Amino acid sequence: MIWVSHNELITVTSKAFDGLRLPCGEAEQIAHMVADLEMVGLHGIEHFLNAVEYLTKANTQACQLTMQTESILEVDLHGDSILCQLPTILTYVAEKLLTQNHLTLKISQCHNRWLAFGELCQLAKQGISIKAYWYNINSPTYIKYILNSGNKLPELYISPIDELALVSSRSLTIEFNNSVFKLPESGEYLQHISSAVLEQQQVSSWQRGIPVQEASWQQLQQISKAILVQDSSQ
Amino acid sequence: MVNNKINANDHQNHNQMRSRDLVMNPLRLGAMHQTRLSFVRSLVRRMAKQAWQLQLNQWQISTQGFGFAIYKLTTPNQEYHLVVFSDQIDDADRNDRVIAEKWDITFALVIGEVNQRLFEQLKNNVPLQEAGRNSTNVIVLARANKSVRVFEHIVETLSQGKQPDGQILAQVGYILRTTAVYGNGKFGIADFEILQTNPDFNLSFSAQMCAVYILRQFSLDWVHDLAKQRGGDTAIELCPQLQRYLGVGNATGLGMTPYLIKHPKVIDNWLSQRENAISLVSQQLISADKNQQLQQLLRRAQIHLQQVITIDEQQQKLNQIAVKELAQIQLLASKACQQQQRYSQLLQQNEAFSFEAQEAFIACLLECYPDYVDNFEQAMNADEALFMPKGINISTMLDMLKRQYRWAIEIDFNQTNNQYWFWYRSQDKEEPRLGIRGTDVGEDKELALDIGRQVNRFYHELIQQPQQQTLAEFLLQYPKYAAIARRTWTLGHCDMGDIQMNILAKEALPINLLRCKLAIFGATKFDPRSDRWVRVTLFQGAPLFNDIHADEWLFPLLPQAQEQAI
């Protein structure tokens, strides 16, 4: 285990993303998406390392949003990571919410859904309530988090699922509302990670540093070196 | 007289800030001096006001000058320790660039006690600098090299019971020069975030400046100890005036440039607060007593500039011109005082002079008004968040760009010389460097520091789109412009905004950006060593710890010259 600072994580992730030389996505913003998740102990680095294989020039193109109904927006990312596209999509959503009270965003065929966390926390701080949910294929689970307006961190709920058919879609649904969401009853999920627990981890990360697996840190640093150039002595 | 006269419309009326086009001109930024808002000044004010104490806790330095020393700093809130390691290195290894791997001195500022376990950790890691790992007990990690000539001269003369030659000291101005002073989470140390609630070091860069200030005390203790070792009872200490005259050197190169580009809200805020202070002071009538103080400071600035020794011919010329112009400014100030004018009128008249003279004048002017200026130090920390606008259309975005980014829109990037350079990070310790486009390798890995070019491309894409389309819709279609849209909208609504410089241009001088940041820190004695790096001094002329007080050290002078200036 190695202990790294928030600034180190931002710097290295930012360089790693820059090194991918993608046509869209903002390195600093993406680094914050990774760090926001890592700081609360939800493995941002692992998710970013997984994302790298999906972050290719062919994938990261402009996306088409369609209004399914007045309050349902759909977008197909065709197997791309949400990392590059989500900030721009959320800008569009935030604008829509200026004139309507609720909206549902359905993102299909996407990867690295955990990494939406930081951007959604930012939106909640601006006064929008958010409910995000998806089925996870690796350990068949249903994951949901609720960020009510003004919350800094979400209430996170995880339940196992049996119907693998649900998992195959790799979709992410995010509901936005100008009023608050009701929190689920205790019988509706197996595990609840409260915002207080997440905050405790976040405070510890600031004060003591972020504990990171040494192999993951090395891998991240290795990716960040792709941006380096052999000296031409200028 | 150098003609930098600008359109009178650029200078707004007396109760408003000066315009961004005037202030964010890189040539003006490259002429800035320390002011009382600079970080070294706000730190020393806080130290004096709260009576911070410094105590030498351990001195384990050998007769050759190697070993370690520990200083304890006590504030009303907390104890800190500066742990300094002195190592023997070959002259050939003494390199100021970031690619160096050995240094004469390495040091760390630590929160709280240094127990044996922590000391061992520091001993094993601090001398390694970037190659080491540190814990969040450490808030500053840094290194320094000695000026061999000054160091040897001082130790030798003191050991013989004589004071050193002031002219030799004047040529350099320090015993030790730092080559990197790391804060904010570098190499495992504490993030600045956790210092924001620390009442001692909650101001940007104050912890780094404090570490450098204590290092200055170490450099004096070091030469005194070695002179004593060498000369025994014959040895003397530097006279207090010379101790005070010596600061800590700093060598800064291209590596600092990306910071200024990548932290635009920080730079905007530093300059905006400074402009707020200037604006407030410029509304005052020039009173006789203030004019007298101003005249004295302007004379001091002249002598300081005469005493600056630099190998750079251009800087020599600029200093000479400024010395002459400061004499003219003194006459204008006296006349303006007699005519009961406000400083705003004087500032406008000064625009006929070189930037170097104008900026020296501003430093002197702000010095006279602590009651108006010093409060702005509390506002120097910046929220770095950039915001994407909601609900605006392309036409609105274009209006803002035309208003605030004309400097970038009007550049013809089809001209080779307007994108002559590209910036990259070298494999050598990731040092930022410049390559020539089309000639050097690495263009495919160019760093996105090209703000002017990005704005230009964004603008030209926008003008081809339906003007009523929303920006959010446009960005879904063209996500590659999201970053520059956020930046320009945010900075376009700040007081000063982006630095108005095409950093790719053949004639672009990164050294102007370095000087801007160093002046905000509080550096003096700017000595460009090329167009890529500069040597300065920090805390030169500052009171010593045992006599700490807030003022009297703008434009440091050699002791005998100081007497003449009073």
Residues of B in contact with A98 (CB under 8 A): 390-391
Q: What is the DSSP string of chain A?
A: -EEE-HHHHHHHHHHHHHHT--SS--HHHHHHHHHHHHHTTS-HHHHHHHHHTT--TTT-----EEEEETTEEEEEEEEEEHHHHHHHHHHHHHHHTTT-SEEEEEEEEEE-GGGGHHHHHHHHHTT-EEEEEEEETTTTEEEEEEE-TT-SS-EEEEEE-S-GGGGGG--EEEEEESSPPPPPPGGG-SEEE-HHHHHHHHHHHHHH-EEE-HHHHHHHHHHHGGGEE-----
Domain ranges for chain B: 40-253, 264-382, 384-530
Q: What is the mean pLDDT of residues B189-213?
A: 97
Q: Closest CB to A94: pick one of B184, B390, B435.
A: B390
Give the pLDDT confidence score for residue B99 in this predicted structure. 80
Are B441 and A91 within 8 A, CB to CB? no
Residue that is written with structure tokens 């790693």 in the block: A16
pLDDT band at A166 (very low <50, low <70, confident <90, very high): low
Pairing of strands B67-74, B79-86: antiparallel
Are B475 and A88 within 8 A, CB to CB? yes
pLDDT band at B278 (very low <50, low <70, confident <90, very high): very high
Residue that is written with structure tokens 């509706």 in the block: A188
Are B191 and A234 within 8 A, CB to CB? no
Count structural domains, chain A: 1
Give the pLDDT confidence score for residue B9 in this predicted structure. 38
Does B387 score more than 80 pLDDT? yes
Give the pLDDT confidence score for residue A232 in this predicted structure. 58
The answer as to whether A233 is a domain residue is no
Does B276 score more than 50 pLDDT? yes
Nearest chain B Cα to A32, which residue?
Answer: B385
B477–chain A Cβ distance below 8 A for any pair:
yes
Give the pLDDT confidence score for residue A42 in this predicted structure. 97
Q: What is the mean pLDDT of residues B97-116?
A: 94
B262–chain A Cβ distance below 8 A for any pair:
yes
Shortest CA gap B54–chain A (Å): 26
Q: What is the mean pLDDT of residues A87-106?
A: 94
Does B83 score more than 90 pLDDT? yes
Cβ count near A62 (within 10 Å): 14
Give the pLDDT confidence score for residue A56 in this predicted structure. 76
Residues B500, B487: Cα–Cα separation, whole Å: 14
Residues A34, A82: Cα–Cα separation, whole Å: 12
Give the pLDDT confidence score for residue B163 in this predicted structure. 96
The answer as to whether A56 is a domain residue is yes
Higher pLDDT, B495 or A231: B495
Which of the residue ranges A61-65, A133-137, B231-235, B531-535 would you say has the lowest mean pLDDT? A61-65
pLDDT band at A123 (very low <50, low <70, confident <90, very high): very high
Nearest chain B Cα to A84, which residue?
Answer: B479
B435–chain A Cβ distance below 8 A for any pair:
yes
Are A234 and B480 within 8 A, CB to CB? no
Give the pLDDT confidence score for residue A58 in this predicted structure. 62
pLDDT band at A55 (very low <50, low <70, confident <90, very high): confident
Q: Mind listing the pLDDT tens digit for each residue in B210-220?
A: 999 999 999 99
Give the pLDDT confidence score for residue A26 in this predicted structure. 92
Beta-carbon contacts below 8 Å between A and B = 127
Residues A121, A141: Cα–Cα separation, whole Å: 22
Q: What is the mean pLDDT of residues A182-207?
A: 94
Cβ count near B126 (within 10 Å): 23
Give the pLDDT confidence score for residue B563 in this predicted structure. 57
Does B14 score more than 50 pLDDT? no
The answer as to whether A234 is a domain residue is no
Residues A77, A110: Cα–Cα separation, whole Å: 5
Q: Closest CB to B390: pick one of A3, A7, A98.
A: A98
Of B194, B156, B207, whose CA–CA distance to B46 is shortest?
Answer: B207
Residues B37, B376: Cα–Cα separation, whole Å: 7
Which two structure tokens, joined as six digits, stand for B168? Answer: 């030799």
Are B388 and A91 within 8 A, CB to CB? yes
B384–chain A Cβ distance below 8 A for any pair:
no
Average pLDDT of chain B to the nearest whole number: 94
Does A138 score more than 80 pLDDT? no
A139–chain B Cβ distance below 8 A for any pair:
no
Does B50 score more than 90 pLDDT? yes
Looking at B306-431, which runs of residues are DSSP E strands? 421-426
Residue that is written with structure tokens 């909640």 in the block: A124
Are B133 and A2 within 8 A, CB to CB? yes
Q: What is the mean pLDDT of residues B46-70?
A: 97
Are A229 and B442 within 8 A, CB to CB? yes
Residues of B in contact with A18 (CB under 8 A): 447-448
Are B193 and A3 within 8 A, CB to CB? no
The answer as to whether A169 is a domain residue is yes
pLDDT band at B98 (very low <50, low <70, confident <90, very high): confident
B441–chain A Cβ distance below 8 A for any pair:
yes
Higher pLDDT, B2 or A217: A217
Q: Closest CB to B427: pick one of A4, A7, A229.
A: A229
Shortest CA gap A178–chain B (Å): 16
Are A88 and B479 within 8 A, CB to CB? yes
Nearest chain B Cα to A211, which residue?
Answer: B188
Q: Mind listing the pLDDT tens digit for each residue in B409-447?
A: 999 999 999 999 999 999 988 889 999 999 999 999 999
Give the pLDDT confidence score for residue A60 in this predicted structure. 62
The answer as to whether A232 is a domain residue is no
Q: What is the mean pLDDT of residues A20-32?
A: 93
Residues of B in contact with A28 (CB under 8 A): 262
Does B355 score more than 70 pLDDT? yes
Which of the residue ranges A53-67, B134-148, B360-374 would you say has the lowest mean pLDDT? A53-67
For residue A13, the enclosing domain spans 2-227
A18–chain B Cβ distance below 8 A for any pair:
yes
A83–chain B Cβ distance below 8 A for any pair:
no
Does B485 score more than 70 pLDDT? yes
Cβ count near B289 (within 10 Å): 9
Residues B140, B107: Cα–Cα separation, whole Å: 8
Residues of B in contact with A19 (CB under 8 A): 445
Give the pLDDT confidence score for residue B565 in this predicted structure. 54
Higher pLDDT, B410 or A23: B410
CATH of the domain at A116: 3.30.1370
The answer as to whether A141 is a domain residue is yes
Q: Mind listing the pLDDT tens digit for each residue in B108-125?
A: 999 999 999 999 999 999
Residue B462's φ and ψ, nearest 5 degrees, are -65, -40
Nearest chain B Cα to A65, which residue?
Answer: B476
Give the pLDDT confidence score for residue B4 in this predicted structure. 39
Residue that is written with structure tokens 């070294």 in the block: B40
Give the pLDDT confidence score for residue B13 in this predicted structure. 40
Are B185 and A98 within 8 A, CB to CB? no
Are B448 and A2 within 8 A, CB to CB? no
Give the pLDDT confidence score for residue A170 in this predicted structure. 87
ipTM reported for the complex, 2 dp:
0.94
Are B441 and A98 within 8 A, CB to CB? no
Are B136 and A8 within 8 A, CB to CB? no
Residues B204, B192: Cα–Cα separation, whole Å: 8
